[in-house]
């Protein structure tokens, strides 16, 4: 699973870089350029209501602590680059409390036109990856999965705490408007995000206590592209600067909302691999929300774009 996740992640990253380069190549010759760095801290909430899955596994019921609601701190850092008046790009990474780089954002913005002397509109594309932790607790009320065999209970041979991370990569297209006034710059937009949880597989080994019976349950998920709304808002203020150097603060917020599910194929083998039944299970899609708000500082070298 790790290899497949890694290769898909690399492919997505390469695609994002390619899109970045194509857009950059298409850009007009930059009249002015600026390079920036940012460091943000934000709060992220992932919410997905726990639903009754009728005894079947629904992996999204087991996000984080399984309450359907998780709030985490995210430390993000990255760089931005403005090429001329119309194009800007940024690439950033984020880490949770485990201090492992597990989030990625690659953004490009194109200012398409003027609404008023101080306001413009444009289009933003974002390639992003959100990791989620799944702590599955396998249903015990389903006879075929666990149940009783000749009066003995089937126990899970793996007594370790089960937890794994699943990535949710996606690409967003967001029309936005921006407004600049002196040192203040505001922008907001809303669009859609196309994403899919990366496939993964899980295995449960069951053994009859006091008996020989062994049963193996395998879950294998696949891609399930889903469209969600994606809304962003940014406010930044230049606080200090000299010449073409600027130090400022920035606040950002994002909201992603859509119906998500993780379908899977479940195989149950009893005694030997030859005695296997397979079933395709698609839990009902339920509202899935990612909300994030935070801010930080930025440094910029060069002329401000807007």
Least distance (Å) between residue 157 CB and another protein = 6
- Output 223 or 271, the one with its CB closest to another protein: 271
**CA gyration radius, the chain:** 24
**Minimal CA–CA distance to 16: which of 24, 26, 5?**
24
Least distance (Å) between residue 188 CB and another protein = 52
**Minimal CA–CA distance to 118: which of 33, 187, 49?**
187
Binding site for another protein (CB under 8 A): 150, 152, 155, 157, 205, 207-214, 216, 269, 271-274
Rounded distance between C-alpha atoms, residue 177 and residue 48, angstroms: 30
Torsion of CA 63, 67, 68, 69, to 10 degrees: -100
Least distance (Å) between residue 152 CB and another protein = 7
Instruction: Extract the tokens encoding 40.
Output: 């943000």
Least distance (Å) between residue 252 CB and another protein = 46
- Output 207 or 224, the one with its CB closest to another protein: 207
Phi, psi of 48 (to 5 degrees): -150, 110
- Output 147 or 210, the one with its CB closest to another protein: 210
Phi, psi of 4 (to 5 degrees): -65, -40
Least distance (Å) between residue 159 CB and another protein = 9
- Output 144 or 205, the one with its CB closest to another protein: 205
- Output 210 or 287, the one with its CB closest to another protein: 210
């Amino acid at each position: 699973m790790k290899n497949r996740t890694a290769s898909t992640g690399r492919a997505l990253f390469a695609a994002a870089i390619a899109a970045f380069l194509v857009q950059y190549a298409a850009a007009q010759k930059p009249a002015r350029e600026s390079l920036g760095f940012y460091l943000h801290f934000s709060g992220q909430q992932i919410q997905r209501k726990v639903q009754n899955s009728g005894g079947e596994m629904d992996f999204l019921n087991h996000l984080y602590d399984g309450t359907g609601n998780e709030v985490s701190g995210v430390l993000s850092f990255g760089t931005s680059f403005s090429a001329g008046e119309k194009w800007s790009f940024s690439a950033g990474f984020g880490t949770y409390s485990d201090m492992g780089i597990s989030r990625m954002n690659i953004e490009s913005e194109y200012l398409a036109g003027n609404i008023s002397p101080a306001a413009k509109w444009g289009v933003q594309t974002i390639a992003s990856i959100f990791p989620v932790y799944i702590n599955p607790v396998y249903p015990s009320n389903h006879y075929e999965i666990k149940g009783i065999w000749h009066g003995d209970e089937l126990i899970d041979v793996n007594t370790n705490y089960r937890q794994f991370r699943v990535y949710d990569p996606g690409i967003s297209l967001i029309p936005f408007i921006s407004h600049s006034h002196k040192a203040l710059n505001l922008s907001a937009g809303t669009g859609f995000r196309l994403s899919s949880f990366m496939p993964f597989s899980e295995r449960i080994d069951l053994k009859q206590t006091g008996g020989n019976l062994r049963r193996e349950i395998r879950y294998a998920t696949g891609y399930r592209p889903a469209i969600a709304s994606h809304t962003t808002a940014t406010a930044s203020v230049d606080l200090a600067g000299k010449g073409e150097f600027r130090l400022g603060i920035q606040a950002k917020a994002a909201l992603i909302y859509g119906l998500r599910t993780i379908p899977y194929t479940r195989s149950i083998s009893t005694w030997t691999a030859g005695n296997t039944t397979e079933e395709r299970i698609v839990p009902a899609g339920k509202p899935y929300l990612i909300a994030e708000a935070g801010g930080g500082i930025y440094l910029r070298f060069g002329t401000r774009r807007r």
